[in-house]
Structure 1
Amino acid sequence: MPGRLAAGGLVLLAAPVLAGEPDEPEWPAIIVTAPAGESRALPPQVTVPPSLLIDRQPRSAADVLRGVAGVTVRTNSRGETIARIRGADERQTQVFLDGAPLAVPWDGRVDLGLLPAGLLGGVRVVKGAAPIEYGANAVAGVVDFSTRQYGQGNFAHVEAGSLGSGSASLVLAERLGGVDTILAAGGITRDAEPLAGPLPFGQPRGNRRTNTDLDAGSLFAALGGEAGNLAFRASLLHLEARRGIAPEGDRPPEAGPRYWRYPDIALTQATVNAALALDAGATLKVTGWRQWFGQRIGQYASIGYADLEARQQDEDDTIGGRVTLTHPAGPLTLRWAASAQSSTHAQVDTAFPSGPAGARLRFRQNLLSLGLEADAVLAPGVKLTLGGAWDRAETPLTGDKPPQSAFAAGAASAGLGIDLGEGMALTLSGGRRTRFPTARELFGVALGRFALNPDLGPEAAWFADAEWRWQRPGTTVMVNPFVIRSQDTLAQRVLADGRRQRFNLPGGATSYGIDALLSHDLGERVRFELSATALRARADRGSAPFRRLPQRPSYEALAALDWNLPGRFDLRAEVRAVGGAVDVDADGLLVALPAAAEVALRAAVPVARLGENRLFLTMAVDNLTDAQIFPQAGLPLPGRLWRIGLRFD
């Protein structure tokens, strides 16, 4: 498994608040990739404040995103917990950690269920036409995680729960000779996920979901500081895990459910970033990253997970960087951005019981993005941002597959921000983005599950957003209608031999809906929160076997009541509702996914004070009513799970 020491990190300032407008940060120097500015109009965004990272008692980065307006979190058929923005495919949602892409480029996805939540210091979700700093493939939007900063202090938690579940985090922050230092460790474990209700197949035992064990651990270190006009931060993350993958519970053995396990997963990511203040108000930012990733996948003959049929060994090596120069130019502020990334994937497939190891195949994909944005203040309280970019993808190494032509596409965006006074603001934004197929989509067969499509091409989307926001002490209201027009959308079809094949829809698809958010203090100690999304996603008539796009719930909503009496207790109750959706079964037929709702309870009680910090007893129940929720056919969300622990902050 790859894993090496290297320097890494990031810098920058500014903190958007819950509805997305700059405000005083809750800690010094939050890291963001695309900071707001006095003349910059940004697309819709939602920030999860640090207080909510604690109140919701999340175990992983995936838990942090549950309930964010416009974001869907689910576990896919590969066992990965992924995020989708406004119903788009997870590969259209780019994930960043401290300014560097976190997803493994070969697949374009990352398992957010493996990253401990205790490591995170801030989370921002950008929707629609993302700023040019994020580079190529940010079609639906961006999930931008930042790790904890020195100013956020020390943190620790440990908890245990039902079915052998547990998690722990430790973050130590110190200033050594003017250098801010962060050391962190974390882990997540479980014997199995709880099962809320019966499944037709793939479930030989009662309340424990088959093959859903997990053990994951991580180490993190960061150094940061300032030297004159230069600010810098370097960080290194190493993560190791092993886990099972639940078989699809809606299909019998002859329909080919996945009997897979991941005995080894390892990811090491180093990031280095610097910001240099130049003359005449200019700023130069440079970010570099290096990622090593490796995994083994075992395919078994039956649900007994005893007879190994095949094994896939993957190794990935990625290097990339970004340069952004911002400077005034008369009445304008110009922002030049260039990013490049090269990723090499090596793969060995072995058949069992007696087959020899296959050839070591090497694939490579290079991404390049060049862009320019211009900001202008048109009138007091009115700001305009226009941007354009050129993106390119090429695959110079294609293993044993035929060569693939390079792809190139343009991108454009526009944003108009209007201060309406009395705490109200309106932002109109839109643009066009392109996502290139990943190397896995072009060349991967997933141990025989997929048939390749040599004609697979990029997918593109046009966006339009209107975000109205009203903020006053104790109250935030946000309403954001949107429309997305997709072209050449990547979809899957089931072939006569049972394999799946990716293809571009010959026409297009249209999605429209509304994101909404309300946060209101009912009193000095009680706060009500509501975030919701309504969505309608349809393919053009005649362009797909079914017009309704699969795995897109018609609505998602989270309502929460938080009662906090400092020094005594903090109680939180949440209700998350999910609307009906559809999916495609093993025969390629459309099946209904019913609407459902789940209840979660949280409690924290201070038990001791240690200097400036406190020790809390924490208690939580997830899915209190043991509701059965299907984000995907045959793959339900976990049932009821209780947790109890200690937190120090």
Structure 2
Amino acid sequence: MPITVTAPAAPDRVLPPQEIIVADSLVDRQPRSLADVLRGLAGVTVRANSRGETVARIRGAEERQTQVFLDGAPLGVPWDGRVDLGLLPAGLLGEVRVIKGTAPIEYGANAVAGVVDFQTRQSAQGSFAQLEAGSLGSGSGSLVLAERLGGIEATLAVGGITRDAEPLAGPLPFSQAPGNRRTNSDLNAGSVFGAIGASMGDLRVRASLLHLAAERGIAPESDRPAEAGARFWRYPDIALTQATLNAALTLGEDAELRATGWRQVFSQTIAQYRSVDYAALRGVQDDADKTLGTRLVLAHRAGPLQLRWAASAQSSTHRQLETDFPSGTAGPALSYRQNLYRLGVEADAPLAPGLRATLGAAYDAADTPLTGDKPAQPSRGAGAASAALGIDISASSVLTLSGGRRTRFASARELFGEALGRFAINPDLRPEQAWLADAEWRWARPGFALVLNPFFIRSRDTLAQRVLPDGRRQRFNLPGATSFGIDARIAHDLSDTLRVELSGTWLRARADAASAGVRQLPQRPSFETLAVLDWNVPGKFDLRAELRGVGQAIDLDAAGRSVKLPAAAELAARAAVPVAQLGSHQLLLTFAIDNLTDAQIFPQAGLPLPGRVWRLGLRFD
């Protein structure tokens, strides 16, 4: 009994470029976490940031410009504007949709670069279990029971991810103990999820509850000594609880009211240490966040048009307490609040046989009624607009042209957060604005699919970082930047059992002349590619080889100078072999190796990707 509350497809609706990963493809990739699900998708970059959080970027945009949803509710913590995708197990998922460009109106404010829309597993995808162990104490497990019990749709999922340390592929100059274990890179995370849904006449409802508890280390920057600002941090406690209620009411033959409400409670403790031995505390920051939000969408027909009226509102309060050590003196308890709003409309119009359009307009607003001990901020507002044209070239070929304008308001942390003395606040930050344009051509025939998607992004007031004379960092608005490139994907069945897939992105991202000390935007590889060879003989084995290439990029060092990040390649292998048949279900032995050649890859300065990791497990489909 699925309820599609975010951007459901309709005959005349034209959506911007998107990638959809269904349950079978999710299993084939053998992902451990939500982050692993996104690796290798054209136009999507997955990396660990300097706080150790695994985040997703779409087309080189900042991670806060990519909004993440779970069953229609924002999953990111509003204070920070992002979520750690490496903590939740992938077994929870039944489908993933990545929308690039001007995201549909239902996704609300702040979706500038695009959207990652996770949908949890339901009875249509069946139950699932997986357990694996690997190198350096790594392991993961998921148990998902998704069943229909009469008129009730129920899902129960438990999962966990653990590791003693990430493997190290090569030597590092600073803050690294001898051996092959990355300093302070342990992780323990566990989660439980439950959902129940039912239909009652014209009303369909689904209520769900997610709880996550985790602790982990944050690997220190290895490109700088402690006196140059390397951070020695740990997260001894992370907890997230999110309740979501989805409802859809059919009002007539051509009208429907959809509603989503969410309540998120988040807390974390950040422990800052004086040195790489993590023995003496320098300070502790305790955070507590509570968020309440809702979205209403009314869809109905008005003559030849299909209209969608959407309204959304979200209020989030962040409370923070910092304690200095060794004195144990606590500072004042500070409270911050940010409210986000959107009101808008979209219209689908059939223009001619094989020709249709979707037009949209909205108004977004933000205010910060609580600002702790920081200066008050003015209320902000901005218009949003989008247009998309779908052209059916033939029965197997479709061209979509789309574009528009989107705005992102700075998160409360960007406005007020000092990160235990690392950042100097800038009270004059303005909202980010982006104008986006896409052309996507899809051509498909039996056994073959091709997607080409050139894109263009013109940004104004994008937030960047600069290094101040005292060594602290400060966020500021870039006057302007331009990014353009192309996403591409080819999938071809070489035979009934052998399939090849090629996907990738070429990107050029530059700040305007004289608007930044370094024009090339940091941490944007010039290209990312993935080549996959999948050999699947049903009932016998499923073998998968992956080769990922990453182009050259730059980053900024501790002094704000440009440093090169070299191009690299990463090889991975997957295998699944049936060992028992239990009725209509299979028990499989699984094996995976990530970074087979133990390559040292730097998505950002001083923070390499893990070296070689192997995993052995069992899977029940």
TM-score after normalising by structure 2: 0.99
Distance 2:492 2:24 in 1: 15
Q: Does 1:487 align with 2:460?
A: yes
Shift of 1:459: 0.6
The answer to whether residue 556 in structure 2 is matched with residue 584 in structure 1 is: yes
The 10-residue stretch of structure 1 (482-491 or 173-182) with the greater mean CA deviation from structure 2:
173-182
Q: Does 1:560 align with 2:532?
A: yes
Equivalent residue for 2:220, pick from 217, 226, 247 = 247
Q: Give the one of 174, 178, 192 matched to 1:219.
A: 192
Aligned to 1:173: 146
Q: State the partner residue of 1:437.
A: 410
Q: Report SS of the residue matched to 2:124.
A: helix
**Which of 321, 333, 336 lines up with 1:348 in the alignment?**
321
Q: 1: CA distance between counterparts of 2:21 and 2:513?
A: 38
Instruction: Decide whether aligned partners of structure 1 residues 64 and 419 sit closer, same or farther in structure 2, where only a CA change above 3 A counts.
Output: same
Corresponding position of 2:73: 100
- Does the 8 Å contact 2:342/2:364 carry over to 1? yes
Structure 1 counterpart of 2:374: 401
The partner residue of 2:397 within 415, 421, 424 is: 424
- Conserved 8 A contact 1:11-1:273: no
The reply on whether 1:293 has 2:266 as its aligned counterpart is: yes
CA shift for structure 1 position 169: 0.1
In 1, Cα distance between equivalents of 2:5 and 2:619: 27
Q: 2:436 aligns with which of 463, 466, 470?
A: 463
Report Cα offsets for 1:555-612 as digits up to 9, x if no partner.
Answer: 0011100000011000000000000000000011000000000000000000001111
Matched, 1:595 2:567: yes
Q: Distance in 2 between matches of 1:370 and 1:567?
A: 52
Matched, 1:628 2:593: no
The answer as to 2:357 corresponding to 1:362 is: no
Which SS does the other structure have where 1:209 is aligned? Answer: coil
Q: Deviations along 1:229-255, whole A, 9 cap, x unmatched?
A: 111111100000000000001001110
| One-letter amino acid matched to 2:384 | A
Contact 1:276 1:284 in 2 (8 A): yes
Alignment gaps of 5+ in structure 2: none
Which of 564, 574, 589 matches 1:617?
589
Partner of 1:111: 84
Q: Secondary structure of 1:513's partner?
A: strand
Aligned to 2:244: 271
Query: Partners of 2:44 and 2:542 in 1: how far apart?
Result: 26
1:278 partner SS: strand
Q: 1:151 aligned to 2:103?
A: no
Give distance in 2, aligned partners of 1:213 and 1:646: 23
- Judge conservation of contact 2:433–2:459 (CA < 8 Å) in 1: yes
1:473 CA drift (Å): 1.4
The unaligned stretches of length 5 or more in structure 1 are 1-9, 13-30
Contact 2:385 2:406 in 1 (8 A): yes
**Contact 1:39/1:383, CA 8 A, preserved across alignment:** yes
Task: Output the CA distance in 2 between the equivalents of 1:49 and 1:479.
Answer: 21
Give the secondary structure class of the aligned counterpart of 1:113.
coil
Corresponding residue for 2:278?
A: 305
Find the aligned partners of 2:148 and 2:509 in 1 and give their Cα distance.
50
| Distance (whole Å) between structure 2 residues aligned to residue 559 and residue 280 of structure 1 | 46
Give distance in 2, aligned partners of 1:409 and 1:360.
32
Alignment of 1:61-140 (within 5 A): 61-140=34-113
Q: Give percent identity, aligned residues only.
A: 72
1:47 is aligned to 2:14? no
Residues of 2 paired with 1:460 and 1:287: CA distance?
27
- The 3-state SS of whatever aligns with 2:329 is coil
Q: Deviations over 1:598-636 (max 9, x none)?
A: 000000000001111000000000000001111110000
Report whether the alignment pairs 1:644 with 2:609.
no
Give 1:11 shift: 4.5
Contact 1:65 1:73 in 2 (8 A): yes
1:540 aligns with 2:484: no
- Read off the aligned partner of 1:79 and give its amino acid letter: G
- Distance in 1, matches of 2:71 and 2:147, equals 19
Query: Residues 284-332 of structure 1, C-alpha deviation per residue, up to 9 Å, x if partnerless?
Result: 1000000000000000000000000000000000000000001000111
239-248 or 270-279, which deviates more: 270-279
Post-superposition offset of 1:422: 3.5
Q: Distance in 1 between matches of 2:460 and 2:327?
A: 46
CA contact (8 A) 1:179 1:225 kept: yes
**1:256 Cα deviation after fit:** 1.2
Q: Deviations over 1:78-98 (max 9, x none)?
A: 000000000000000000000
